[in-house]
Structure 1
């Protein structure tokens, strides 16, 4: 009698569990989940990266606009230059993520002539009328201020000579 009661109780408990198991195809429901589309995932990732780059460029533009102010205190200017350097590093990281290692190799092999910021409008060693000379603290660059205020070779902030 006891074994019959136990069998009925066990049957009542296990039947709903088995039915639930069979409805969601077992294994935590993984069989019922749709498979991810690699193309759609890559597209979503690229859109996300582009949104991040756009927001980052807006921040860079805002900091560069603040740096154009001639009345800016030296301490504030130094802080903004540090912030700008960090923003450019973050931008380079995002760009490197999008292009993989081939992006880094391309920049390492590219001559400085390809970089418009590296081009100097004057002959080397001569001073243009009304332009100051800026130098890199690493000694990689000497010439007029570049568009982003960084050395085209090493990325350090240029200082007035």
Structure 2
């Protein structure tokens, strides 16, 4: 399946955002998250390229994507350099478990829709993260393992 929608503007990354605010992110010793660099890369094409790749294989339909847009979820993406893992990490936005009680959107009517949106936003984050690392990041990890690690 594929999703035929216009590419939204990339999220704006905040250089001073705190990674500990995310329940789904675990980064050891993050000193320089390179958010300013990653923000520039997103605007230079990484977001558009990653979004196009994701949309070509996405299982979301246009009505589900409309929910994402109506709720402004794309602005909740965050990308950061994870020096320890030598990767571009990401936080994907999602719909909360109490979506029904909060009456978030009139078209949200089932757990399957909520689950599909959350899963697809996570996949979009992964694809953009991989694109950033493969095609845009030109720095190496500064993390050096301690000398006293055992040899296996």
Choose 1 or 2 for highest CA Rg.
Answer: 1
Provide TM-score, normalisation by structure 2: 0.27
> Greater helix percent: which structure?
1
Provide TM-score, normalisation by structure 1: 0.26
**Which protein, 1 or 2, shows the higher relative CO under an 8 Å CA cutoff with sep ≥ 6?**
2
